[in-house]
Amino acid sequence: MIKIKKINKFEFLLSKIHNKNVLHVGCCGRVKKLDIKSEINNYLHKFIVDNSNNGYGLDTDKDELQYLKDKGFKNLYFGDAEKISEINFDIKFDVIILGNMFNYFPNPGKFLNDTNSLLSQDGSIIITIENYMTLKTIFKYIFFGRYPDFYHHCFSVNKNTLVTLVNKSGFKVDDYGYIFQGPDNFLIQSFRSKIANKITQLFPNSEKYADGYVIQISKN
């Protein structure tokens, strides 16, 4: 049984992508981070390109893909991730990273198996995903009636249901971590969020309330 542990997301990913051919699905995200000096090195796709052997990107936002191309990024593909097995990449990948977009898809088991078909032998899939059950979101709901703003997701997971979903889709968990660094949609994590995270980590089993999870899986 893989034990879930507290991690720094970028340090975790560095150990997985070094000298590897990597595909980043959902590579655009907050592209404007590239224009902010204090945030440029926190932009996930730049980190992947800088630290892998070959970094590829896939997204459906033509404008943001063009923005990345104008910034000098290469190996960028426009396409629908739900039809990922139909996209003609020129290589097989050692690692495929699903960056905070795994729960957008109505059939995650099929999506994982289609994604797996693009991997080289012994390749793996890494999923980064936001946790909807942080203490911050729970308190906002209790005191202000604000339901977690994940309306664009097809489903939400916690640390246990994510493992169940992965296992039932025919995969096994190779490594698993949780983060208290703020979700990716924050350009800069607010002071209040940082304080809330420090308080949260004083609670037993605080990993249940982490900002997000990073899980590495491979086919059984």
Q: Is 182 exposed, middle or buried, given 0-12, 13-18 or 19+ CB atoms closer than 10 A?
A: middle
pLDDT tens per residue across span 74-94: 999 999 999 999 999 989 999
- 58 pLDDT exceeds 90? yes
Distances (CA, A) of 38 to 9, 25, 33, 43, 197: 17, 24, 8, 10, 21
Q: Where are the domains of the chain?
A: 5-219
Distances (CA, A) of 1 to 9, 89, 111, 173: 21, 34, 24, 8
- CA distance linking residue 65 with residue 135, whole number of Å: 35
Is the Cβ–Cβ distance between 44 and 216 less than 8 Å?
no
- 153 pLDDT exceeds 80? no
- 184 pLDDT exceeds 80? no
Query: Among the listed ranges 23-27, 78-82, 142-146, 185-189, which one has the minimum average pLDDT value?
Result: 185-189
CB neighbourhood size of 190 (10 A):
10
Split at pLDDT 50, 70, 90, the class of 181 is confident
H or E, element range at 59: strand 54-59
pLDDT tens per residue across span 1-18: 678 999 999 999 999 999
- 143 pLDDT exceeds 80? no
- Torsion angles phi and psi, residue 114, rounded to 5: -65, -40
- 173 pLDDT exceeds 90? yes
pLDDT tens per residue across span 101-135: 888 888 999 999 999 999 999 999 999 988 877 87
Here the tokens at position 123 are 């390749």
2: three-class secondary structure by DSSP: coil
Q: How is domain 5-219 classified at the CATH fold level?
A: Rossmann fold (3.40.50)
